[in-house]
Structure 1
Amino acid sequence: MNKKPLALAMMGSALFSPLSMADFVKGSHATLGVRNFYYNNDNRDGTAAPSKTEEWAQGFMLNYQSGFTDGTVGFGVDALGLLGIRLDSGDGRHVGSSMIPDDGKGAAEQWARLGATAKMRFAKTEMRYGTLTPKLPILVANDGRLLPQTFEGGQIVSNDFEHLTLTGGHIEHATGRGSSDRTGLAVAGGTQESNQFNFAGADYKITDALLAQYYYANLEDYYQQHFGGLVHDLKLGDFGSLKTDLRYFKTMADGANASAAGRSEGYRASGFTKDGNGKIDNDTWSLAFTWGIGAHALMAGYQQVSKDSNFVQLNQGGIPDKGASGSSVYLLTDRYIQNFTRAGERTGFAQYSYDFAALGVPGLKASAMYLSGTGIQTASGQDQKEWERDFSLDYVIQSGALKGVAMGWRNGASRSEASRDQDQNRLVVSYSLPLF
C-alpha cells in the first residue's frame, strides 16, 4: 500500500482544520483598485511613424491577500486579477503596446491576467512562490502605465535577525505592463530569453539613521550585478532634515553574453558598447542629497555611467511580444521619458517638491525636476547631450462621497541628441476600494 498520499492527506487535513484556518480567514483582506489612465507621448522629431501615441483606458485590479494558518509554520495564498479596457486609441495613435496590447489589428479592446501566490511563514521568515511584484535595488516591477508589470518565481524574506533583513529569490518569467502573455527574461536589445534570474541581498540598519545595503543578481547568459547602497537621515532640528542616498552598481557579462558566439545568437545589449559587440560591462554610481524643511523638499544629485556599455537591468523590450517592453531601474534618474543610463553619461539633477497642506490644502502635492546628461557615447557621436524637465501634480480628496479618490498629472519634456525629442502627458484618476 502506498502510504504517501494518505500521509499528505492527513497533513493537509491538520493544516487546514477549522482551528488552523481561523487566522487564515481572520487575516484575509481584499481590495479593488480602479485606475483611469490617459497617456499621450508626442515625438517632436525623427522619421519614424506614427509620431504620436495617444491612448485612454480603464483598469481594474483585484488584490486578495489571505492570513496565515495557525501553528509553527503558517500557510496562505494571495491572488491578483488584472483587467484593462480600451476607451480610446484611434488609428495612427497606437504605437507598439506603449500601454494597451496590440491584437494584430491595432489596440486591443480589453486584456486581462490572473496571478496566484502561495506563501509560507516560519517565525519572521516568509517564503512566496507565484506572482511577484518586487521592489528591490536589483529588480523593480514597473507600474508606470494602466496595469503593473508582474514576475513569476519565488522569493524569501527573513527578519529573524535584529536590524537585518535578508532577501533571496529566483525569477523565471515576466508579464509586461502592456501584455497578457508571459515571456522569458532579457535586457534591452536582447532577443533570446533567459529563464534564470537569481538574486540575494541584505539590508542592515547600522543605526536608526543609517541603512546599508548589498545585493547580488545574476541573469543567466546576460549579466552578473553587484549593488551597494547607503542611506542616511540626519535630523537638523529647526532646520529640517538632510537625507543622503549613495548607490553603486557593478555589472558584468555572464554566460552567452561573454562570448562572441553567444552575442551573435541574440544574447546582447542594445546601445553603445566598447567594441560595438553588445557585451555588458558597466559601473554606475549616483549620490543625492534631499533637504526637507516644513512643506519644502529640495533634492540635488549627480550620476555617472561608465563608457563601455549602457547600464542594464531586466528589460524584455527586444523579445517579439511588443507588450513585454517597459521596465524600471533603481536609479533616481529613471524618469517619465528617459532614464539617463547611456554609456559614458554624466547627469546632474535637481528636484523641488511642495506639500500644499501647509497652505491649508491637505492632499495636494507638486514637484518639478530637471536632469541634464552629457558625455553620451553612441556610434554616431562621442559626447552627446540630453535633458528632461518633469512636472507632477497630485491631489487626494480628503472628505465627502469621493474621499480617497486620487488624481494625478505628469508632464515631461525631453530633448536629446541620442534619441527622438519627446513631450509626454499622463492623467490618472485612481481609487482603492476595500472589499473586506
Structure 2
Amino acid sequence: MNPTPCVAIGLTLLSQPLLAAEGGFFTDAKASLSARNYYFSRDFSDIVGANQQSKAREWAQGFILDFKSGYTPGTVGVGIDALGVLGIKLDSSPDRVNTGLLPVHGDGRAADEYSRLAPTFKAKVSKTELRVGELQPNLPVLTFSDIRLLPPTYQGVSLSSSELDGLTVQAGHLSGSHLRNEGGDGKMNAMLGHVPQRQVESDAFNYVGGDYAFNGNQTSASLWYGQLQDIYAQGFAGFKHSKPIGDWVLSANLGYFTAREQGDALLGSIDNQAFFSLLTARRGGHSFHAGYQAMYGDSPFPRVFANISPLGNEVPTYEFAYTDERSYQLRYDYNFAAMGIPGLTATVRYITGNNVDTGQGYEGKDRERDIDLGYAVQSGVLKGLGIRVRNAMARSNYRSDINENRLILVYTWQLF
C-alpha cells in the first residue's frame, strides 16, 4: 500500500536528521502518553423513542500518544505531528452498550479493542501555519469534544494566521471524521438538538472565521461561518469581556448563532437562531455563574454529530437546544487551592428549560443537576494523576430521563 502524502513527507523529513536537528525538528519535539481509565453509567427511565435500552454502562481503558515535532530551519519551517489512540474493553454486555466509549459490532456486542495512528503534516511561515492530515479543530462552529475515552479527530486541511497583533484568523476544509469510539473514519452526520440524523451524510465541512482580542486581552470578539455541505450553513458572532473590580473579576460571554439549510438540503428546511449568555463573578476560590439561552426559528440547533457546542447552557447530558427552547442556569465552582488544597475543584450546576416545541401539541420542559469533583495530584510518585467524578440527574417530559455517573482516572507521562 502506498503511503499517504502526510506519511511520505514525514518519512522524508526523518531521513534528513542533521538538517532537522539544526532547525529544531527534533530538539523542539514533544511527546506525551496518557492512560485514561473511564467508567460510564447512564440509566434511563420514561424512555422516549424507538430504542428501549434501559441502561448504558461500560468500563474501558484508553491510551493516547501525542507527538509534536519542531520545525525545520528556513523561511518555511516544516514538521510532522502524530496521534495514536488505543481503546480496550474492560467491561460491557449487549444490553448496556452505546456509552460512546467503545465501538459496537453488528451483533450488538462492544469491540474488545480499537486503535488508530494518524499523522499531520505542518508548515509554518512567520505566524501562519498550514496543517494537512489528522486535525482537532476547536471552533465555535465545530467545538472539540474530548468527553469520552478517546478524542475524536477530522481529516482535512486547515490554515491559521496570527500575523496581526490580537487577531487570529482560521479556515479549513474537512473531508471526513473519526468518531470518539471508532478506529476508522467516514463521512459526517448532523445532529438537530439532541437527535442524531444518521440517515444522511455529508462529504465536507468548511469553515472560516476569526477572533480578535483587545483592551489588554480583557475583551474579544469573534465572527465565524461553518458549512456542513448539503445539510446546513451556520454563522456565529461572539463577545467576551472580563474586568477586575477590587477582589472580584466579573466576566460576560455572549454568543449568537444563525443556521439555514445548504446546498442539496439533505435534511430539508433548517431554520434556527440561538442566543446564549453566561455571566461570571470570581473571588478567591469562588466562581458564581448565571446563564440564559434561547432557541428561535422552526428547527433545533444544528451541529456535526457527535460534537458539543459552545452554547452557554449545554452540558454533556442534556443540550437545552431543541426548537424554541428557553433555558436558565445557575452554577457554582470552588477551587480548594484557596483553602490550601491545590488540585481539588468542585462544581455544582442546575439548568432548567421550557417553551420547547415538541411537535406533539404540548410544551416540552427539562431540567438537569450536575455535581463534579476533580483532583490532580500535585507532587510525589503519583504526580500527573487526575481523578474526576461526575453525577448527573436529568428529567424531561419529551425525552428520556437520565441518571448518570462517571469516574475518570487519567495519568500522563511526558516522554520528552
User: Is TM > 0.5 for Structure 1 vs Structure 2?
Assistant: yes
More strand by share: 2
Other-structure match for 1:162:
165
The one of 225, 230, 236 aligned to 1:227? 236
Contact 2:39 2:58 in 1 (8 A): yes
1:255 aligned residue (259, 263, 282): 263
2:111 is aligned with what amino acid?
A
Question: Any conservation in 1 of the 2:57–2:99 contact (CA below 8 Å)?
Answer: no
SS in structure 1 opposite 2:378?
coil
2:371 is matched with which residue: 378, 381, 391?
391
1:90 Cα deviation from its structure 2 partner: 2.8
Q: Is 1:191 aligned to residue 171 of structure 2?
A: no
User: Once the 2 structures are TM-superposed, how far is the Cα of residue 187 of structure 1 from its aligned partner?
Assistant: 0.9
Q: Aligned pair 1:36/2:37, yes or no?
A: yes
The reply on whether 1:134 has 2:137 as its aligned counterpart is yes
Kindly indicate whether residue 67 of structure 2 is the aligned counterpart of residue 64 of structure 1: yes
Quote the offset at 1:223 in angstroms. 1.1
Distance 1:83 1:20 in 2: 29
Give the whole-Å Cα distance in 2 for the aligned partners of 1:252 and 1:206: 31
Residues in 2 aligned to 1:357 and 1:142: alpha-carbon distance in whole angstroms = 27
Contact 2:327–2:353 (Cα < 8 Å) also in 1 = yes
Q: Matched residues in 1 for 2:214 and 2:361: separation?
A: 45
Q: Which aligned segments of 4 or more residues in structure 1 are displaced greater than 6 angstroms?
A: none
Aligned partner of 1:288 in structure 2 is: 278
- Tell me, which stretches of 5 or more residues in structure 2 are unaligned? 1-8, 192-196
Residue equivalent to 1:354: 334
Match of 1:101 in 2: 103
Change (3 A) 1:100 1:20: closer
* 1:390-416, Cα deviation, whole Å (9 max, x unpaired): 110000111211112000001111001
Count of aligned positions: 397
Give 3-state SS (helix, strand or coil) of 1:256's partner: coil
Alignment deviations for residues 157-176 of structure 1 (CA, whole Å, 9 cap, x no partner): 10111111111111110111
By how many angstroms is 1:21 displaced? 3.8
Q: Distance in 1 between matches of 2:199 and 2:215?
A: 44
Query: How far, CA to CA, are the matches of 1:111 and 1:197 in structure 2?
Result: 25
Cα deviation digits, residues 76-118 of structure 1 (max 9, x gap): 0000100000001134222x36321112330111111111100
State how far apart, in whole Å, the 2-side matches of 1:328 and 1:149 are.
Answer: 12
Find the partner of 2:79 among 76, 81, 91: 76
CA distance in 2, matches of 1:226, 1:157: 19
Runs of 5+ unmatched residues, structure 1: 1-8, 258-266, 269-277, 316-325
Q: How high is the TM-score relative to the length of structure 1?
A: 0.88
Q: TM-score when scaled to structure 2?
A: 0.92
Instruction: Report 1:268-307 matches (<5 A).
Output: 268=267, 278-307=268-297
- Mapped partners of 2:41, 2:208: distance in 1: 38
2:362 & 2:238 partners in 1: Cα distance? 30
Q: For 1:418 and 1:408, locate their aligned partners in 2 and report how far apart those are by CA, in whole Å.
A: 30
Show the counterpart of 1:46: 47
Which secondary structure state, in structure 2, belongs to the residue aligned with residue 18 of structure 1?
helix
Equivalent of 1:182, from 154, 165, 185?
185
Q: How far does residue 358 in structure 1 lie from its aligned partner after superposition? A: 1.6
Cα shift at 1:46: 2.1
Native 8 Å contact 1:16 1:69 kept in 2: no
Distance 1:16 1:137 in 2: 39
Task: Name the SS for the 1:337 alignment partner.
Answer: coil
